[in-house]
Structure 1
Amino acid sequence: MEHNAKLVSSEVAALWSAYMQNSMAYCIVQHFAAVNEDPDSTDIIQTALTNCQFVVNEVKGIFEKENHAIPIGFTQEDVNLKASRLYSDLFTMRYIKYMAAAGTAAAAALLEVLARNDVRELFSEISAKFMKLYNDSCDLLLKKGAFVRSPTISPMEKAEYLQDESFLSGLMGRHRPLTAIELAHISKNTETNSIGRTFISGFSQTAKSPKVRKYMERGTEIAAKHETVFRDILIKDGVPLPSSWDSTLSQSIEPPFSDKLMMFQIDSLIALSVAGYGTAIGTSLRKDLGGHYTRLMAEILQFANDGTELMIENRWLEQPPQNVDREALRNRK
């Protein structure tokens, strides 16, 4: 007998999230394409648009086939293609690189909870498409000398086992040197905050709502604070600081994006930060690092909660698919 399996909850969640993220990214990259002046970036920007549109169309097709409601997501109403430039062309490439890395990682991670062949094939293709986009954007940034690398360390002379538990905290009142894994996470989380700070700075000067502008200003301060914490750790460890990420902004106050889209983008960046901090906690053996990550995570979670309340207040937060409320059905009048 032919078995026509219905979508399970994990598949619905993966498809819904992919639709939301890619319909948003499509709007953002459309603005970047409209103001781009770098001919070297044209093909990569077009590929980013094509990838996002592919994901949106494929998810829509599966949902229509399964009689699932199509998410509202983000549309042409959320982007103003006539708006003046807000971010530099270099930031465009760094955003696409970051977006492609996040898309690749998310698609690969979701494969574990997908059962249906068509859904697995879709996310396998998404992962492959965004991985190529990531590599192409890396190559261009390297060509331009604009790829921000992690700090370098001296080659390890020999492999050996730890001798005592002082490795976990400090050595005679001081912290032992950072491991390569710890350095990698500090660099990654610094990058996330740098991108977020640049984005939020632009959002804070173009948002229409005074409440959203105030929220964005607060986000800029938080991102700058977190960057400073990570950079101070590197300075105290005597690690050469990596180049700072480009944060060039124009003086335009004409919003290229809707307040709804800007709030959702910040929410997405916060989710990536929380995931990054959580992974860092699990792989950082120095206890002071765990303390930093835990404290900073609590701060951005509170920031995210306040943002969620603001989005609900303005009816900008789309309800994710959810299970049937049996109690509400039983208590209906």
Structure 2
Amino acid sequence: MEHNPKLVSSEVAALWSAYMQNSMAFCIVQHFANVNEDPDCTDLIQTALTNCSYVVNEVKLIFKKENHGLPIGFTQEDINLKAGRLYSDLFTLRYIKYMAAAGTVAAAALLEVLARNDVRDFFSKTSQMFMNLYNNACDLLLKKGAFVRSPTIAPMEKAEYLQSESFLSGLIGKHRPLTAIELAHISKNTETNSIGRTFVSGFSQTAKSPEVRKYMERGTQMAAKHETVFRQVLIEDGVPLPSTWDSTISQSIDAPFSDKLMMFQTNSLTEISVAGYGAAIGASLRKDLSGHYTRLVAEVLQYASDGVKLMIENRWMEQPPQNVDREVLRNRSV
């Protein structure tokens, strides 16, 4: 018996999110392509554009087949290709690596809640495409000596079981050395804040709305504060600090992106930060680290909430697909 199932809520959510993220990223990478002066980055930038375009077009086809309304997403109205350079070519490379990693993880994680063959095939292919893009970006960063590595630790001499609860460590006093897993999360979250700080710093000088500029300035300060917290943990533990490659931001005040796009990108960065901090809380056995992450994630959540309110006030927040409001239908029929 032939079975033609409709899209279920998890599939709609996955496709909708993919469309929003990739239509936004396509606009950002277009600007990078327009100002790029590094021949080594040309092919990588083009691949990033191809990947984003593929995702957007495939979601369009699936939604059209299902008579499902398309998201508004982001279009050429959200990008000004006449604007000059805002970020360095090195930041372009860092952003593509970051975007490709996020795309790979998101697509792979979504497979668990997808049933239809065509949707699973789409996200499987998407995951592979962005994984290849990520590896190519890493190779180029390594070639340029600009890959930010995690701190190194001495090799483990032998495996052994814990013998004392002191391993968990208290909130104050002397702490036992950081584990490799804890170091990995600290490094990842430091890099996320570094990318975010660079982004919103550029946004703060180019946004048209005074409220958006103020919001971006607040985000710059928050990201810098969080980086300081993580670096201080490493310093106190005697861990060599990883090299930093802060990307140059030009003096341009000509916005390459709409305020709507800048707010959405910032909101996406806060979502990634919350997920990263949540994973770190679960993986960090030192209580002082859990305390840091719990405090910092509360700040990010408040910042994100204020951003959503600002987007709603300006009618920049697109409503995600939602279930039918039965109460409204009942009241209309009375």
TM-score range, shorter chain: over 0.9
Task: List per-residue Cα deviations over 1:164-207 (Å, max 9, x = no partner).
Answer: 10000159930000000000000000000000000000000000
Q: Which residue of 2 aligns with 1:267?
A: 267
Q: Which residue of 2 aligns with 1:132?
A: 132
In structure 2, do the counterparts of structure 1 residues 296 and 171 end up closer, same or farther at CA, with 3 Å as the change threshold? closer
Q: Which residue of 2 aligns with 1:306?
A: 306
Task: List per-residue Cα deviations over 1:269-292 (Å, max 9, x = no partner).
Answer: 000000000000001000110010
Give the residue type in structure 2 aligned to 1:115.
A
Q: Which residue of 1 aligns with 2:34?
A: 34
Inter-partner Cα distance in structure 2 for 1:76 and 1:173: 55
Q: Does 1:104 align with 2:108?
A: no
In structure 2, do the counterparts of structure 1 residues 13 and 145 end up closer, same or farther at CA, with 3 Å as the change threshold? same
Q: Which runs of 5+ in 1 are unaligned?
A: none
Residues matched between the structures, number: 333
- Equivalent residues of 1:170, 1:176 under 8 A apart: no
Task: List per-residue Cα deviations over 1:232-264 (Å, max 9, x = no partner).
Answer: 000000001111132310000000000000000
How far off is 1:41 after superposition? 0.3
Q: Comparing 161-170 with 50-59, which one deviates more in the overlay?
A: 161-170
Q: Which residue of 1 aligns with 2:221?
A: 221
Q: Which residue of 2 aligns with 1:58?
A: 58
SS in 1 for 2:276: helix
- Equivalent residues of 2:171, 2:287 under 8 A apart: no
SS in 2 for 1:215: helix
Q: Which residue of 1 aligns with 2:231?
A: 231
Task: List per-residue Cα deviations over 1:271-318 (Å, max 9, x = no partner).
Answer: 000000000000100011001000000001000000000000000000
Give the residue type in structure 2 aligned to 1:21.
Q
Inter-partner Cα distance in structure 1 for 2:267 and 2:306: 10
Q: Comparing 167-176 with 3-12, which one deviates more in the overlay?
A: 167-176
TM-score of the two chains, using structure 1 as the length reference = 0.99
Q: Comparing 183-192 with 237-246, which one deviates more in the overlay?
A: 237-246
SS in 2 for 1:331: helix
Give the residue type in structure 1 aligned to 2:215.
Y
Q: Within 5 Å, which residues of 2 pair with 1:249-260?
A: 249-260=249-260
- Equivalent residues of 2:203, 2:216 under 8 A apart: yes
Inter-partner Cα distance in structure 2 for 1:216 and 1:98: 20
Inter-partner Cα distance in structure 2 for 1:34 and 1:42: 10
SS in 2 for 1:151: coil
Give the residue type in structure 2 aligned to 1:70.
L
Q: Does 1:4 align with 2:25?
A: no
- Equivalent residues of 1:23, 1:75 under 8 A apart: yes
Q: Comparing 240-249 with 215-224, which one deviates more in the overlay?
A: 240-249
Give the residue type in structure 2 aligned to 1:236.
E
Q: Which residue of 2 aligns with 1:278?
A: 278
Q: Within 5 Å, which residues of 2 pair with 1:322-333?
A: 322-332=322-332
SS in 2 for 1:80: coil
Q: Which residue of 1 aligns with 2:76?
A: 76
- Equivalent residues of 1:200, 1:266 under 8 A apart: yes
TM-score of the two chains, using structure 2 as the length reference = 0.99
Task: List per-residue Cα deviations over 1:132-170 (Å, max 9, x = no partner).
Answer: 000000000000000000000000011000001000015
SS in 1 for 2:44: helix
In structure 2, do the counterparts of structure 1 residues 221 and 171 end up closer, same or farther at CA, with 3 Å as the change threshold? closer
Inter-partner Cα distance in structure 1 for 2:173 and 2:231: 21
Q: Which runs of 4+ in 1 moved over 4 A?
A: none
SS in 2 for 1:101: helix
- Equivalent residues of 2:150, 2:184 under 8 A apart: yes
What is the aligned-residue RMSD (CA, Å)?
1.0
- Equivalent residues of 2:200, 2:217 under 8 A apart: yes
